[in-house]
């Protein structure tokens, strides 16, 4: 009996590289699809991971790499929301169409599409956590591109019999975070005052990248999940106030940060005690030294009930531990295990 072969597109990305790691731990032969040849040396995947350069906009390239593939995990995407709409649609919509067409033609058994909670839009007036059956109202190009990708994947699945699962992660945290928003938050945490004026008694969702990767593999192993959509978000949202205190505790515990960074955190904590000052600086402070934690849609809460109704359980429920993993920035692949 041949070994199961899994193709991961976007294997050099934040979530995709973790999925490669989880699949390999399960003894599955991984074909890691990357976009740039230079990523091969940077990733330094172990020899038993088949690293291959692919272009999801080139169907011929996809047909070649899908030979003998059993399952596909599709994480290749444009995630920078300031990219031109044409670029987002070309990669996130047409690229997804190519992946699903080629998967169906090549006899792939199942495919997973990584979407985003951005497909829901800014449902700021929602009184209940947003579940998977809420009507999508994506209004900005990135959210629309992911929503169109979902529809294309489901349409091809319905017409071909290709088993398809869709996941919608919320804000993803973890070591090795390389998305534009993740870099912005991480850089701000070590170079600016963090302020959350106006966010009294409001909450947000988070999820650790390892939980997203493990959930992806878990759902693909469940035959009953075919045709299903799942929000991927930690079990409980956290108050912005609690998150800020967790951030301060995480900085105190870390040994990797400079005195300058800890002084910034100390000043942020003092400002935070004076709500009027925090609110004032959040509204009018210069972007050069103030990072506003609040942005439209950050206080929207999503439900993980559907995922939790399976046997899946999240490993990372403490926001403080999540932050520590980001600060310490430990690599996905540990020496002697998956990286040389």
Domain 5-170+207-233+299-314: CATH superfamily, name plus number:
NAD(P)-binding Rossmann-like Domain (3.40.50.720)
Inform me whether the pLDDT recorded for 56 exceeds 90. Answer: yes
Most confident of 26-30, 180-184, 256-260: 26-30
18-31 tens-digit pLDDT = 999 999 999 999 99
- Give the per-residue pLDDT at 324: 82
Inform me whether the pLDDT recorded for 191 exceeds 50. Answer: no
Q: What is the mean pLDDT of residues 215-240?
A: 90
Q: How far apart are CA 203 and CA 210, in angstroms?
A: 22
DSSP string, 265-320: HHHHHHHHHSHHHHHHHHHHS-TTTEEE---TTTT--B--HHHHTTT---S---HH
Question: Higher-confidence residue: 181 or 144?
Answer: 144
- Give the per-residue pLDDT at 5: 96
Question: Higher-confidence residue: 108 or 200?
Answer: 108
CA 148 to chain centre: 18
Given a contact cutoff of 8 angstroms between Cβ atoms, the answer to whether 179 and 10 are in contact is no
- Count Cβ atoms below 10 Å from residue 256 Cβ, excluding itself: 8
CA 12 to chain centre: 13
SS3 for 98? helix
132-158 tens-digit pLDDT = 998 888 888 999 999 999 999 999 999
Rg (CA), the chain: 20
Read off the pLDDT band of 249 (50, 70, 90). Answer: confident
Average of per-residue pLDDT values in the chain: 82
Single pTM value for the model: 0.86
SS3 for 329? coil
Inform me whether the pLDDT recorded for 181 exceeds 50. Answer: yes
- Give the per-residue pLDDT at 150: 97
- Give the per-residue pLDDT at 116: 94
Read off the pLDDT band of 242 (50, 70, 90). Answer: confident
Secondary structure percentages of the chain, helix, strand, coil, to 5: 45, 15, 40
Question: Higher-confidence residue: 218 or 178?
Answer: 218
Percent of the chain with pLDDT over 70: 74
Q: What is the mean pLDDT of residues 118-142?
A: 82
Read off the pLDDT band of 331 (50, 70, 90). Answer: low
Given a contact cutoff of 8 angstroms between Cβ atoms, the answer to whether 113 and 96 are in contact is yes
Percent of the chain with pLDDT over 90: 48
Q: How far apart are CA 130 and CA 140, in angstroms?
A: 18
Tell me which residue of 119, 68, 77 sits closest to 98, measured CA to CA: 77
Q: What is the mean pLDDT of residues 202-218?
A: 92
- Give the per-residue pLDDT at 336: 33
Handedness of CA 34, 36, 42, 47 (dihedral sign): positive
In the chain, alpha helices (H): 14-25, 39-43, 59-65, 85-89, 95-105, 141-160, 180-189, 209-220, 240-253, 259-273, 275-284, 305-308, 319-328
- Give the per-residue pLDDT at 338: 32
What H or E segment, with its residue span, contains residue 204? strand 203-204
Handedness of CA 232, 313, 12, 93 (dihedral sign): negative
Write phi, then psi, for 150 (nearest 5 degrees). -60, -50
Q: What is the mean pLDDT of residues 168-180?
A: 79
The domain spans of the chain are 5-170+207-233+299-314
Read off the pLDDT band of 340 (50, 70, 90). Answer: very low
Inform me whether the pLDDT recorded for 196 exceeds 70. Answer: no
- Give the per-residue pLDDT at 147: 96
Read off the pLDDT band of 107 (50, 70, 90). Answer: very high
Strands 110-114 and 29-34: unpaired
């Amino acid at each position: 009996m041949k070994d199961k072969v899994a193709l991961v597109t976007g294997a050099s990305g934040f979530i995709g590289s973790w999925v490669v790691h989880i699949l390999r731990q399960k003894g599955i032969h991984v074909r890691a699809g990357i976009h740039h040849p230079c990523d091969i040396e940077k990733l330094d995947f172990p020899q038993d991971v088949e690293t291959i350069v692919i272009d999801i906009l080139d169907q011929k390239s996809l047909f070649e790499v899908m030979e003998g593939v059993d399952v596909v995990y599709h994480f290749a995407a444009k995630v920078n929301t300031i990219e031109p709409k044409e670029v987002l649609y070309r990669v996130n919509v047409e690229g997804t169409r190519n992946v699903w067409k080629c998967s169906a033609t090549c006899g792939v058994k199942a495919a997973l599409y990584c979407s985003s909670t951005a497909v829901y839009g800014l449902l700021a007036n929602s009184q209940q956590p947003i579940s998977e059956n809420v009507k999508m109202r994506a209004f900005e190009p990135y959210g629309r591109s992911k929503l169109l990708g979902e529809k294309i994947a489901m349409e091809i699945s319905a017409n071909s019999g290709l088993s398809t699962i869709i996941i919608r992660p919320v804000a993803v945290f973890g070591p090795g975070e390389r998305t534009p928003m993740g870099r912005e938050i991480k850089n701000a945490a070590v170079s600016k005052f963090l302020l959350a004026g106006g966010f009294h008694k409001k909450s947000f969702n988070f999820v650790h990248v390892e939980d997203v990767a493990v959930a992806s593999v878990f759902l693909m192993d469940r035959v009953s999940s075919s045709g299903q959509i799942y929000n991927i978000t930690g079990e409980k949202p956290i108050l912005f106030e609690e998150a800020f205190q967790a951030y301060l505790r995480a900085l105190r515990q870390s040994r990797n940060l400079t005195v300058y960074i800890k002084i910034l955190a100390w000043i942020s904590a003092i400002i935070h005690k004076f709500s009027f000052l925090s609110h004032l600086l959040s509204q009018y402070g210069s972007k050069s030294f103030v990072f506003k934690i609040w942005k439209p849609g950050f206080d929207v809460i999503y439900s993980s009930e559907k995922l939790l109704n399976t046997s899946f359980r999240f490993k990372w429920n403490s926001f403080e531990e999540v932050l520590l993993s980001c600060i310490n920035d430990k690599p996905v692949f540990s020496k002697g295990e998956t990286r040389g």
